[in-house]
Amino acid sequence: MRIPAHSVCTAIRDDIVSGVYARGARLTEEQLARRYGVSRVPVREALRTLESEGFVVSRRHAGAHVAEPTAQEAADLLDMRSLLEPLGAARAAQRRTEAHLKVLRGLVRLGQERARRGRGEDLASLGGWFHETLAQASGSPSLTTLLTQLRYKIAWMYAVEPSERPVEAWAEHGAIVDAVARGDAERARNLTALHGEHAVSLHRLKQADRPRVRVSQHVVNMAGPRN
Protein backbone atom coordinates (compact mmCIF):
# COMPACT_ATOMS: atom_id res chain seq x y z
CA MET A 1 0.00 0.00 0.00
CA ARG A 2 1.42 3.37 -1.03
CA ILE A 3 1.60 5.86 1.85
CA PRO A 4 0.20 9.32 0.96
CA ALA A 5 2.92 11.95 0.66
CA HIS A 6 1.03 14.14 3.15
CA SER A 7 1.50 11.52 5.86
CA VAL A 8 5.23 11.41 5.24
CA CYS A 9 5.43 15.20 5.18
CA THR A 10 3.61 15.44 8.51
CA ALA A 11 5.88 12.85 10.10
CA ILE A 12 9.09 14.56 8.93
CA ARG A 13 7.79 17.98 9.96
CA ASP A 14 6.87 16.68 13.41
CA ASP A 15 10.35 15.19 13.82
CA ILE A 16 11.99 18.46 12.77
CA VAL A 17 9.84 20.47 15.19
CA SER A 18 10.50 18.07 18.07
CA GLY A 19 14.24 18.05 17.44
CA VAL A 20 14.68 14.53 16.13
CA TYR A 21 16.44 16.17 13.18
CA ALA A 22 18.60 19.03 14.38
CA ARG A 23 19.05 22.26 12.48
CA GLY A 24 21.48 21.76 9.65
CA ALA A 25 21.15 17.96 9.70
CA ARG A 26 21.32 16.28 6.31
CA LEU A 27 18.18 14.54 5.08
CA THR A 28 18.63 11.84 2.47
CA GLU A 29 15.76 10.18 0.63
CA GLU A 30 17.15 6.74 1.40
CA GLN A 31 17.47 7.48 5.12
CA LEU A 32 13.96 8.92 5.39
CA ALA A 33 12.34 6.18 3.31
CA ARG A 34 13.88 3.55 5.58
CA ARG A 35 12.92 5.40 8.76
CA TYR A 36 9.25 5.83 7.84
CA GLY A 37 8.81 2.56 6.00
CA VAL A 38 7.92 4.08 2.62
CA SER A 39 9.37 4.37 -0.86
CA ARG A 40 11.52 7.32 -1.93
CA VAL A 41 8.75 8.86 -4.08
CA PRO A 42 6.58 10.24 -1.22
CA VAL A 43 9.75 11.26 0.62
CA ARG A 44 10.85 13.32 -2.39
CA GLU A 45 7.43 14.98 -2.57
CA ALA A 46 7.46 15.64 1.18
CA LEU A 47 10.88 17.30 1.03
CA ARG A 48 9.69 19.63 -1.72
CA THR A 49 6.70 20.64 0.41
CA LEU A 50 8.85 21.17 3.51
CA GLU A 51 11.27 23.27 1.50
CA SER A 52 8.40 25.50 0.36
CA GLU A 53 7.37 25.86 4.03
CA GLY A 54 10.88 26.82 5.13
CA PHE A 55 11.72 23.73 7.21
CA VAL A 56 14.15 22.28 4.66
CA VAL A 57 16.74 23.80 2.33
CA SER A 58 18.35 22.15 -0.70
CA ARG A 59 22.04 22.82 -1.14
CA ARG A 60 23.70 22.38 -4.48
CA HIS A 61 25.89 19.27 -4.51
CA ALA A 62 24.94 18.66 -0.85
CA GLY A 63 21.29 17.64 -0.95
CA ALA A 64 18.53 18.47 1.50
CA HIS A 65 19.21 19.74 5.01
CA VAL A 66 17.09 20.98 7.90
CA ALA A 67 16.94 24.77 7.69
CA GLU A 68 18.91 26.92 10.13
CA PRO A 69 16.77 30.01 10.80
CA THR A 70 18.32 33.11 12.31
CA ALA A 71 17.16 34.82 15.50
CA GLN A 72 15.73 37.63 13.34
CA GLU A 73 13.71 35.17 11.30
CA ALA A 74 12.38 33.67 14.52
CA ALA A 75 11.39 37.10 15.84
CA ASP A 76 9.62 37.85 12.57
CA LEU A 77 7.41 34.80 13.10
CA LEU A 78 6.04 36.21 16.35
CA ASP A 79 5.40 39.52 14.61
CA MET A 80 3.53 37.79 11.78
CA ARG A 81 1.42 35.84 14.23
CA SER A 82 0.57 39.05 16.09
CA LEU A 83 -0.85 40.42 12.83
CA LEU A 84 -2.60 37.32 11.51
CA GLU A 85 -4.26 35.92 14.64
CA PRO A 86 -6.27 39.12 15.32
CA LEU A 87 -7.32 39.13 11.65
CA GLY A 88 -8.43 35.52 11.99
CA ALA A 89 -10.47 36.33 15.11
CA ALA A 90 -12.17 39.24 13.34
CA ARG A 91 -13.05 36.99 10.40
CA ALA A 92 -14.31 34.33 12.82
CA ALA A 93 -16.71 36.86 14.34
CA GLN A 94 -18.18 37.31 10.86
CA ARG A 95 -18.08 33.74 9.58
CA ARG A 96 -18.11 31.29 12.49
CA THR A 97 -20.63 28.48 12.61
CA GLU A 98 -22.50 27.12 15.61
CA ALA A 99 -20.25 24.06 15.44
CA HIS A 100 -17.18 26.29 15.81
CA LEU A 101 -18.72 28.06 18.78
CA LYS A 102 -19.58 24.78 20.45
CA VAL A 103 -15.99 23.55 20.20
CA LEU A 104 -14.51 26.90 21.28
CA ARG A 105 -16.79 27.12 24.32
CA GLY A 106 -16.01 23.55 25.26
CA LEU A 107 -12.27 24.22 25.10
CA VAL A 108 -12.67 27.36 27.20
CA ARG A 109 -14.62 25.44 29.86
CA LEU A 110 -11.94 22.75 30.01
CA GLY A 111 -9.11 25.29 30.06
CA GLN A 112 -10.68 27.40 32.78
CA GLU A 113 -11.42 24.35 34.93
CA ARG A 114 -7.87 23.02 34.67
CA ALA A 115 -6.37 26.47 35.25
CA ARG A 116 -8.42 26.95 38.43
CA ARG A 117 -7.39 23.53 39.72
CA GLY A 118 -3.73 24.13 38.91
CA ARG A 119 -3.63 21.25 36.43
CA GLY A 120 -1.36 22.90 33.91
CA GLU A 121 -0.14 19.78 32.12
CA ASP A 122 -3.01 19.95 29.61
CA LEU A 123 -3.17 23.71 29.14
CA ALA A 124 -0.61 23.97 26.33
CA SER A 125 -2.39 21.42 24.14
CA LEU A 126 -5.80 22.92 24.95
CA GLY A 127 -4.48 26.35 24.02
CA GLY A 128 -3.19 25.00 20.73
CA TRP A 129 -6.56 23.44 19.92
CA PHE A 130 -8.29 26.68 20.85
CA HIS A 131 -6.23 28.80 18.47
CA GLU A 132 -6.45 26.19 15.70
CA THR A 133 -10.25 26.11 16.00
CA LEU A 134 -10.41 29.91 16.08
CA ALA A 135 -8.39 30.02 12.86
CA GLN A 136 -10.69 27.46 11.22
CA ALA A 137 -13.69 29.56 12.26
CA SER A 138 -12.31 32.40 10.12
CA GLY A 139 -13.68 30.59 7.08
CA SER A 140 -10.43 31.27 5.22
CA PRO A 141 -8.44 28.15 4.27
CA SER A 142 -5.46 30.30 3.24
CA LEU A 143 -5.36 32.13 6.57
CA THR A 144 -5.81 28.88 8.49
CA THR A 145 -2.91 27.30 6.59
CA LEU A 146 -0.64 30.28 7.29
CA LEU A 147 -1.46 30.24 11.00
CA THR A 148 -0.90 26.49 11.19
CA GLN A 149 2.53 26.85 9.57
CA LEU A 150 3.37 29.68 11.96
CA ARG A 151 2.43 27.54 14.97
CA TYR A 152 4.68 24.73 13.73
CA LYS A 153 7.61 27.07 13.13
CA ILE A 154 7.21 28.87 16.44
CA ALA A 155 7.11 25.51 18.26
CA TRP A 156 10.29 24.57 16.37
CA MET A 157 12.19 27.74 17.24
CA TYR A 158 10.86 28.61 20.69
CA ALA A 159 10.43 26.95 24.05
CA VAL A 160 7.25 28.25 25.69
CA GLU A 161 7.31 28.61 29.46
CA PRO A 162 4.14 27.83 31.44
CA SER A 163 2.03 30.91 32.05
CA GLU A 164 2.16 32.36 35.56
CA ARG A 165 -1.37 33.62 35.02
CA PRO A 166 -3.25 30.66 33.49
CA VAL A 167 -6.62 31.70 34.97
CA GLU A 168 -6.31 35.15 33.40
CA ALA A 169 -5.11 33.68 30.08
CA TRP A 170 -8.16 31.43 29.84
CA ALA A 171 -10.41 34.30 30.86
CA GLU A 172 -8.98 36.12 27.81
CA HIS A 173 -9.86 33.10 25.66
CA GLY A 174 -13.39 33.23 27.01
CA ALA A 175 -13.71 36.94 26.24
CA ILE A 176 -12.52 36.31 22.67
CA VAL A 177 -15.17 33.63 22.18
CA ASP A 178 -17.87 35.92 23.59
CA ALA A 179 -16.90 38.60 21.05
CA VAL A 180 -16.87 36.04 18.24
CA ALA A 181 -20.29 34.74 19.29
CA ARG A 182 -21.73 38.28 19.25
CA GLY A 183 -20.28 38.96 15.82
CA ASP A 184 -18.19 41.85 17.20
CA ALA A 185 -15.23 41.68 14.82
CA GLU A 186 -13.39 44.72 16.16
CA ARG A 187 -13.56 43.56 19.78
CA ALA A 188 -12.48 40.03 18.78
CA ARG A 189 -9.53 41.53 16.90
CA ASN A 190 -8.45 43.77 19.81
CA LEU A 191 -8.82 41.08 22.47
CA THR A 192 -6.81 38.60 20.41
CA ALA A 193 -4.06 41.15 19.83
CA LEU A 194 -3.85 41.86 23.58
CA HIS A 195 -3.80 38.15 24.37
CA GLY A 196 -0.95 37.68 21.89
CA GLU A 197 1.06 40.47 23.52
CA HIS A 198 0.76 38.73 26.88
CA ALA A 199 1.85 35.39 25.37
CA VAL A 200 4.99 36.72 23.66
CA SER A 201 6.82 37.14 26.96
CA LEU A 202 6.58 33.37 27.55
CA HIS A 203 8.57 32.51 24.41
CA ARG A 204 12.27 31.74 24.84
CA LEU A 205 14.40 31.15 21.75
CA LYS A 206 15.77 27.61 21.62
CA GLN A 207 19.49 27.16 21.30
CA ALA A 208 20.54 25.66 17.98
CA ASP A 209 22.31 22.34 18.50
CA ARG A 210 24.81 20.42 16.44
CA PRO A 211 23.45 18.44 13.49
CA ARG A 212 22.34 15.02 14.63
CA VAL A 213 19.59 12.49 14.20
CA ARG A 214 18.13 10.64 17.15
CA VAL A 215 17.73 6.93 16.67
CA SER A 216 14.12 5.80 16.87
CA GLN A 217 11.63 3.62 15.05
CA HIS A 218 9.09 6.05 13.62
CA VAL A 219 6.80 4.35 11.11
CA VAL A 220 4.10 6.36 9.37
CA ASN A 221 0.59 5.41 10.41
CA MET A 222 -0.90 3.77 7.33
CA ALA A 223 -4.41 4.72 8.45
CA GLY A 224 -3.78 8.32 7.49
CA PRO A 225 -2.01 11.53 8.54
CA ARG A 226 -1.98 12.84 12.07
CA ASN A 227 -3.74 16.07 13.00
pLDDT of residue 119: 75
22 found inside a domain = yes
pLDDT of residue 5: 65
224 found inside a domain = no
What is residue 203's three-state secondary structure? Answer: strand
Enclosing domain of residue 43: 5-66
pLDDT of residue 96: 97
pLDDT of residue 30: 95
178 found inside a domain = yes
pLDDT of residue 207: 75
Residue 91: exposure state from Cβ atoms within 10 A (0-12, 13-18, ≥19)? buried
pLDDT of residue 6: 74
Q: What is the DSSP letter of 159?
A: E
pLDDT of residue 3: 62
Q: List, for the chain, all residue ranges whose pLDDT scores fall below the cut of 70.
A: 1-3, 5, 208-227
> The pTM is what?
0.82
CB atoms within 10 A of CB 33: 17
Domain count, the chain: 2
pLDDT of residue 13: 95
Q: Which residues pair with 136 in a beta bridge?
A: none
Pair 84, 188 in one domain: yes
pLDDT of residue 209: 54
pLDDT of residue 135: 97
pLDDT of residue 130: 97
Task: Give the end of a domain, one of 30, 49, 66.
Answer: 66
pLDDT of residue 214: 45
The answer to whether 81 and 147 have CB atoms below 8 angstroms apart is yes
